Amino acid sequence: MESLIVILLGLSIGSFANVLIYRIPKGESVVLPSSHCPKCEVNLKWWHNIPLLSWLLLKGRCGYCNSKISIQYPLIELLTAIIFLIIYLNIGFTIQAFLLAFTFTTLLALAVIDFYHKAVPDSLNLLALTLAVFYTLDVELIIHSFKNALLFGGAFAFLRFYVSFFTGREAMGEGDIMIAGTIGAILGLYTGVFAIFLSSILTIPAILFSKEREMPFIPFLALALWIVYIFEERVILMLNTLLFS
Ligand SMILES: [Zn+2]
C-alpha cells in the first residue's frame, strides 16, 4: 500500500516537474494558468491531465486538436515515480525521503532544462541546493551537509577559473557550481568527488558523438549523482579497495 502511495505521489510530482521544465525558462508562472495544450492552448480537463495514463489513453495526442504531445511528458512522470520509489525503498516512508526525492526531481528538471537551453534558472538551482542541505531535518547533519556544499562549490569555482585560464574559453557554467554544491551536500566528500569524476567520464561519449560546441554539463552531473547515490555502498567498497589495499 505504501509503495502505491509513493508511486502515485511520484507521478503527480513528475507532472509538476513537467510544468517547471516547460514554464520556468519562459518566465511563466508555475501555478497559473492551468494546464493547457501547447498547440491549441485549450485548457485541459482533469481527465486529460492524469499522469502517464492520459498520455497512453489519448495515444500521445491532444484531446482537442489531435496534435502530438511529446513522449517527454510521460517519461518525466515515470522517471520521477522511479526516483520516489527507490528513495522510499532506501530510507522509508518519511518526510526526509519525500524531501530528498523532491531534490532529485528538481535535479531532473534542471538536467532537462540545461539540455534544451544550455542554461538553468537560479530559482530551481537554489531550490535543489537548499533542499539538499536541509532535507535531513537534523541540525548536526545539516551543518555537515552545508560544509560539504561550500567545499564542493568552492572547489568547482576554482577549477572553473583554472580550466578557463588554460583553455582560453569560459569552461562550465555558473549553474554547474551550484550543482557541485548539491552533490557535496547529498554525498559528502568521499563519494562526492567520485561522482564529479564519474560525470566527466559520462561526458566522453557525448563529446565524441555530438557536433555541438556547447555541451550542457548538468545532465551528466545529475546522472552521476543519482548513480552514486543508488550504488553508494558498492562505490565506497570499490574506492576502499582501489585506494587502501
Ligand atoms: Zn491541442
What is the pTM for the complete model shown? 0.93
Distances (CA, A) of 18 to 25, 29, 130, 189: 12, 13, 21, 32
| Residue 111: burial class (beta carbons within 10 Å; 0-12, 13-18, 19+) | buried
Q: What pLDDT, on the 0 to 100 scale, is given for residue 141?
A: 96
Distances (CA, A) of 7 to 87, 102, 120, 149: 11, 13, 27, 30
| CA of residue 60 to ligand 1 center, whole Å | 11
Q: What pLDDT, on the 0 to 100 scale, is given for residue 41?
A: 83
Q: Cα 192 to the chain's mean position, in Å?
A: 16
Residue 217: CB partners within 8 Å, gap ≥ 6? 114, 172, 173, 176, 199, 203
| CA of residue 195 to ligand 1 center, whole Å | 41
Rounded Cα gap, residues 103 and 132, in angstroms: 6
| CA of residue 37 to ligand 1 center, whole Å | 5
Q: What pLDDT, on the 0 to 100 scale, is given for residue 236?
A: 96
What grid cell was written down for 187? 554525498
**Which residues, given as ranges, of the chain have pLDDT below 50?**
none
- Sequence-ordered alpha helix ranges (H) in the chain: 2-23, 53-57, 72-91, 95-117, 122-134, 139-167, 174-187, 189-209, 218-230, 232-244
Q: What pLDDT, on the 0 to 100 scale, is given for residue 32?
A: 78
Q: What pLDDT, on the 0 to 100 scale, is given for residue 14?
A: 97
- How is the chain split into domains, by residue range? 1-92, 94-245
| CA of residue 116 to ligand 1 center, whole Å | 22
% of the chain residues with pLDDT over 90: 71
| CA of residue 16 to ligand 1 center, whole Å | 19
| CA of residue 69 to ligand 1 center, whole Å | 9
The closest alpha carbon to 156, from 131, 184, 129, 128, belongs to 184
| CA of residue 70 to ligand 1 center, whole Å | 12
Rounded Cα gap, residues 234 and 232, in angstroms: 6
104 in Cβ contact with 226 (< 8 Å): yes
Q: What pLDDT, on the 0 to 100 scale, is given for residue 125?
A: 96
